[in-house]
């Protein structure tokens, strides 16, 4: 049991995550399925559990229903009992988007009553959309040893990627003496992981001092670095922000790569196996006599009669005879019918690929998606939840087929590289 078990955890899980495109059309980013049976938020919640912490507030906002259903009462992560618990903190918003949280510090400030009701020596602030394993007990020990007001989890990343993060400049004691938020020309390669330990009283004072301090990275940390004791906590393990289609695909592929350093089983990552579509009530996977599976993760309840190579399949996926799935991610209950090919693609739940169709056809990897060029640019094609692909259709690279598109929405027998089929919002 952690001697820091009374530390309070705030898990920020309300971001839109728009760079995940139609994967977040009906769900919050932390609720996006990952690595077969998990959801992204399972990693943060399991790290909390494995660190022996017991009080968690989950701040939700954008399309929170599936996330709230998944978390439930916290039983899956041993967060139930008289002195333990996870509390869903629903959106504190009005009728318009302008009333939404305006930053990470603003989100915490609007839930100040939860902080007041749960006083603690330290507050740990986490993001719900990162894939990693971390011992918060060790970070809390470090925080106290430094007599820090704030401790920031940080790791070295290539300078070419630092523009995506807050970046810290440190002295020989790991005290942060300079800060750059998403710098275009960085002076450091030390990136913030979005994991903070705050002294409770210090955090309360920061939140009350200036209500225009809306974001930890943009406002609270630079102010603290200038005036108080802010330290970097170095982290050397696997960590990835899966906030883009490319990063999400790469992290799933890391799960099936022995050299990557990610292992949900060894990390003791838990999920809510009783939630909708989960493997608790699924039969064992069935394999046909002509099946070939190589370097893939196949979840319970699947029926594999064709070929699956270097792919991640969630529960209940069907791959019929003569069909091939390669370098792809298929979420729960997808069906790939006979003689079809799914190549370098992500299929959301309950997609049906008609007989003899190809998703990810041709060599047009460099033809970016016309509607969302910053989302799909490396060849990955994205098919939305419940879409039905007609027989004999060829869909190219960097394409998007929207949620619940059916056979009637297809014009002709092919969708060219970079093209999309999008439905009007109702």
* pLDDT tens per residue, range 138-172: 999 999 999 999 999 999 998 888 888 889 999 99
Q: Which two tokens stand for residue 329?
A: 């991610």
Q: Which two tokens stand for residue 144?
A: 């106290």
- Mode of pairing for the β-strands spanning 345-347 and 381-383: parallel
Distance between CA 313 and CA 292 in Å, rounded? Answer: 14
Predicted pLDDT of residue 16? 74
Enumerate the β-bridge partners of residue 197: 124, 151
Residue 425 has pLDDT above 80, yes or no: no
Which 3 state secondary structure label does DSSP give 234?
A: strand
Which 3 state secondary structure label does DSSP give 175?
A: strand
Predicted pLDDT of residue 426? 61
Contact (CB, 8 A) for 133 and 16: no
Task: From 260, 238, 12, select the one nearest 131 (Cα to Cα).
Answer: 238
| Conformation bin of residue 344: beta by default, left when phi > 0, alpha when psi is -120 to 50 | left
Q: What is the radius of gyration, based on Cα positions, of the chain?
A: 22
pLDDT tens by residue, 265-309: 999 999 998 876 566 678 899 999 999 999 999 999 999 999 999
Distance between CA 276 and CA 330 in Å, rounded? Answer: 17
Contact (CB, 8 A) for 362 and 417: yes
Distance between CA 76 and CA 55 in Å, rounded? Answer: 14
Contact (CB, 8 A) for 373 and 19: no
Please report, for the chain, how many H helices and E strands are present, in that order. 8, 33
> In this structure, which topology does domain 282-421 adopt according to CATH?
UDP N-Acetylglucosamine Acyltransferase; domain 1 (2.160.10)
DSSP state, residue 53: -
Long-range contact set of residues 174-178: C-beta below 8 Å, sequence gap at least 24: 174/146, 174/231, 174/232, 174/233, 174/234, 175/146, 175/229, 175/230, 175/231, 175/232, 176/152, 176/221, 176/225, 176/230, 176/231, 176/232, 177/225, 178/225
Please give the full DSSP string across 342-386, using - where no structure is assigned: EESEEE-TT-EE-TT-EES-SS-TTS--SS-TTTS-SS-EEE-TT
Instruction: Name the band, by pLDDT with cuts 50, 70 and 90, for residue 84.
Output: confident
Q: What is the pTM of this model?
A: 0.94
pLDDT tens by residue, 90-125: 876 554 555 677 889 999 999 999 999 999 999 999
Distance from the Cα of residue 206 to its chain's centroid: 28
Residues 6+ positions from 269 with CB-CB distance below 8 Å: 38, 42, 43, 46, 133
Element (H, E) at 395: strand 394-395
Reported in sequence order, the residue ranges of 67-201 that DSSP labels E, i.e. its strands, are 85-89, 122-127, 130-132, 150-156, 166-170, 176-181, 190-199
Q: Which two tokens stand for residue 265?
A: 């089983």
- 66 vs 396 pLDDT, higher one: 396
Distance between CA 278 and CA 345 in Å, rounded? Answer: 22
Instruction: Locate the domains of the chain by residue range.
Output: 8-255, 282-421
Distance between CA 171 and CA 188 in Å, rounded? Answer: 12
Contact (CB, 8 A) for 421 and 401: yes
Contact (CB, 8 A) for 22 and 384: yes
- Alpha-carbon separation of residue 146 from 122, 135, 150, 198 (angstroms): 14, 17, 10, 12
Distance between CA 122 and CA 85 in Å, rounded? Answer: 17
Predicted pLDDT of residue 267? 97
Contact (CB, 8 A) for 76 and 70: no
pLDDT tens by residue, 304-359: 999 999 999 999 999 999 999 999 999 999 999 999 999 999 999 999 999 999 99
Of the given ranges (48-62, 85-99, 387-401), which has the lowest mean pLDDT?
85-99
Q: Which residue has the tokens 């939860």?
A: 114
Residue 30 has pLDDT above 80, yes or no: yes
* Chosen CATH of 8-255 out of 3.90.1150.10, 3.60.20.10, 3.90.550.10, 2.30.42.10: 3.90.550.10
Distance between CA 400 and CA 194 in Å, rounded? Answer: 30
């Amino acid at each position: 049991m952690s001697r820091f078990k009374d530390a309070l955890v705030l898990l920020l899980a309300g971001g839109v995550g728009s760079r995940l495109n139609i994967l977040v059309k009906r769900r919050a980013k932390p609720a996006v399925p990952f690595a077969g049976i998990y959801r992204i938020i399972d990693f943060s919640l399991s790290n909390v559990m494995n660190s022996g912490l017991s009080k968690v507030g989950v701040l939700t906002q954008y399309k929170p229903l599936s996330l709230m259903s998944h978390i439930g009462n916290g039983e899956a992560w041993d967060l139930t009992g008289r002195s333990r618990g996870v509390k869903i903190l629903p959106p504190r918003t009005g009728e318009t988007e302008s009333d939404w949280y305006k930053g990470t510090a603003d989100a915490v400030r609007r839930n100040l009553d939860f902080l007041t009701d749960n006083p603690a020596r330290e507050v740990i602030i986490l993001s719900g959309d990162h894939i990693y394993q971390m011992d918060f007990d060790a970070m809390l020990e470090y925080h106290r040893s430094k007599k820090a007001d704030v401790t920031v989890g940080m790791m070295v990343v290539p300078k070419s990627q630092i523009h995506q993060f807050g970046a810290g400049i440190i002295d020989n004691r790991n005290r942060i003496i300079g800060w750059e938020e998403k710098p275009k020309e960085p002076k450091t390669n030390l990136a913030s992981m979005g994991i903070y330990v705050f002294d409770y009283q210090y955090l309360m004072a920061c939140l009350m001092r200036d209500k225009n301090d809306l974001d930890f990275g943009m406002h609270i940390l630079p102010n603290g670095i200038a005036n108080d004791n802010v330290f970097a906590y170095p982290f050397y393990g696997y960590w990835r922000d899966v906030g883009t289609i490319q990063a999400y695909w790469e992290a799933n592929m890391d799960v099936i790569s022995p050299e990557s350093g990610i292992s949900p089983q060894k990390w003791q990552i838990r999920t809510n196996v009783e939630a909708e579509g989960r493997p608790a009530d699924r039969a064992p996977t069935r394999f046909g006599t002509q099946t070939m599976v190589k370097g893939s993760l196949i979840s319970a309840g699947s029926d594999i009669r064709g070929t699956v190579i270097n792919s991640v399949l969630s529960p209940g996926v069907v791959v019929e005879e003569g069909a091939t799935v390669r370098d792809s991610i298929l979420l729960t209950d997808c069906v790939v019918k006979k003689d079809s090919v799914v190549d370098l693609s992500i299929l959301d739940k309950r997609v049906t690929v008609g007989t003899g169709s190809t998703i990810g056809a041709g060599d047009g990897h460099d033809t970016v998606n016309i509607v969302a060029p910053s989302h799909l640019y490396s060849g990955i094609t994205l098919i939305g939840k419940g879409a039905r692909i007609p027989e004999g259709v060829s869909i190219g690279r960097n394409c998007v087929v929207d949620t619940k598109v059916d056979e009637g929405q297809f014009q002709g027998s092919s969708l060219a590289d970079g093209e999309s089929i999008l439905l009007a919002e109702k």
